Structure 1
Amino acid sequence: MTVFAKQLKDLERLAFQVSPAPQLITGNRVMLDCNEAFLELFGYEREELLGHLTLLIYPSQADYKTIGNRSQNWLRNSQSGSYSDERFMQHKSGEVFWARSHGYSLTPDDPFKLMVWHFERMDRPHHATVNLTPREREISMHIVNGLTCKEVAKKLAISHRTVEVHRARLMKKLQAKNSAELVSKIIVVS
């Protein structure tokens, strides 16, 4: 390898590591490499992620499976080799947050074999598959993070009774029978 080629390779590596866009390289859904912005977004150290399934950054196994199937089907039937969506992801602390993700397969014949992903944290979902009001989406973000109606009310500076009404509407819209099912459905529906 020439000196110039080595310098170019070093610059490419540096550009990836310091890019402000959180990026992840996966092989069959195993995390192979990531940059500093990705580590900051998810709260992990590099050693805690590399070699592990991306399941680690999903809020639930059901979510991991559903999104995996959906993205793999899309990639297999798409000419572009890319996939984008909005979904819940999970920080190391356990906080669930809304993110936009973009993936690009480097191996179109076997899409998950080698992929590059970009993630972007969002304040709230913009394209939910269930018709939720902006306030319901806002409250749902707090519910999936384990806050009670009183805690949500305090954070949003509204009455806890108002939060209870919105929570009841969420339960009805998502056909949830209890709190655990509500959280699960908020995560999966998104």
Structure 2
Amino acid sequence: MIFVTDADGRATFVSPEWTEFTGQSLRDAAGFGWAQVVHPEDRDLARRTVEAAIQARSAFNLRYRMLAPDGRARWVAAGAVPSFGPPDQTFLGFLGSISQIGTEPAADLRAYGSLGSFVPPPTQPATPPGSMLEAMADHLLMAHALVEPATVGHLRPLVERLLHEVGIELARAEQQGQAWAAFH
């Protein structure tokens, strides 16, 4: 699942898989509504981590439980990279990814949050990308994680620019979808 936030951390886009995975409508997930499907015991950690990432304008990683439509908790790995744009590399928000960690309950997992680099987990069959743009975002997020420790760090600005452009296209596609739904 792909998500985009604004500079204040409010969700401006969640991919359609979000509704299937959580039962929460895309409209209800907007802003900070996404936090309602985070397990109550993990909600404060998720919010604090996102707030710290906003302050630091830093990539982040999270592992926490999300609530399924039936109320069952499922472990997910989430994270995002910051997006910067004109003028003067203004912080615009985050482009991120959420993937289910396995399909069985895991008693030995603990929720955590960290700042720094984001390393996306492998895509699980439960949360495949819903569109070509979302697949591109998933792959670019992985590329972003790979250029950080490698000797090709000079490619990071290019990957970040591509992530920014994909985020714009995701937002445009979402707006067109909302306009089409309102018309029909």
- TM-score (structure 2 length as normaliser): 0.44
More strand by share: 2
More helix by share: 1
Higher relative contact order structure (alpha carbons within 8 Å, sequence separation ≥ 6): 2
Q: Which has the larger radius of gyration?
A: 1
